[in-house]
Amino acid sequence: MELFEALAKRYSCRDLKRVEIPRGDLEKILDAGRRAASGKNIQPFSFLVLTDAKDIEKIATAQAFIAKASAIIAIVADPEKSPYWLEDISAAAQNMLLAITALGYGCTWVEGTTLPKEPEFKDYLGIPQHLRLMIFLPIGQPTGPGSQKQKKSISTMVHWQKW
């Protein structure tokens, strides 16, 4: 899928079914995250890939739909390495969301319901306490067609030269 098509087709898909995701596809998604813009190219993040059903069920305590995921990519940041860590993981997540869409899978960025359970999830996954577990990307096959929600028109959002 071409980039601009992926941009137009990407949506938050919560209706997933479990399918076998080839390791090569997961590696393409991870590589997209690795290539994201990063302040001073510090790249203060790592990715943890979960494919075991037991682990996926545990993470689904954040949001029930996650239980239907085939894989989850957890984005972990080290705030001590860069003052830009939050922006950096956001860029990595967006790159991965586009790669997931381009490969024909569905996904939703999960953060808000993750944060209250961050210490519990870090303990379960063996993530060192000084790191931040901020984002889960549960990936699966969409159960049916979906579409991007209506966005504001570009004419209401863009100003040229001056406000």
Give domain status of residue 57, yes or no: yes
- What is the extent of the structural domain holding 79? 3-143
Judge whether 162 lies within some domain. Answer: no
Beta carbons of 82 and 40 less than 8 angstroms apart: yes
Instruction: Give pLDDT tens digits for 91-119.
Output: 999 999 999 999 999 999 999 999 999 99
What is the CATH number for 63? 3.40.109.10
**Percent of the chain predicted with pLDDT > 90:** 99
pLDDT tens-place string over residues 76-87: 999 999 999 999
- State how many domains the chain has: 1
- Residue 155 counted as domain residue: no
- For the chain, 163 residues long, the average pLDDT of each consecutive 10-residue run is 94 96 98 98 98 98 97 98 98 98 98 95 98 98 94 95 95
User: Which pLDDT does position 1 carry in this prediction?
Assistant: 87
Strands 106-107 and 71-77, by their bridges, are: unpaired
The answer to whether residue 154 sits within a structural domain is no
Straight-line distance from the first to the last Cα atom of the chain, in angstroms, rounded to the nearest whole number: 35
Is 148 part of any domain?
no
Instruction: State the pLDDT at residue 151.
Output: 94
The token duo for 121 is 């999830």
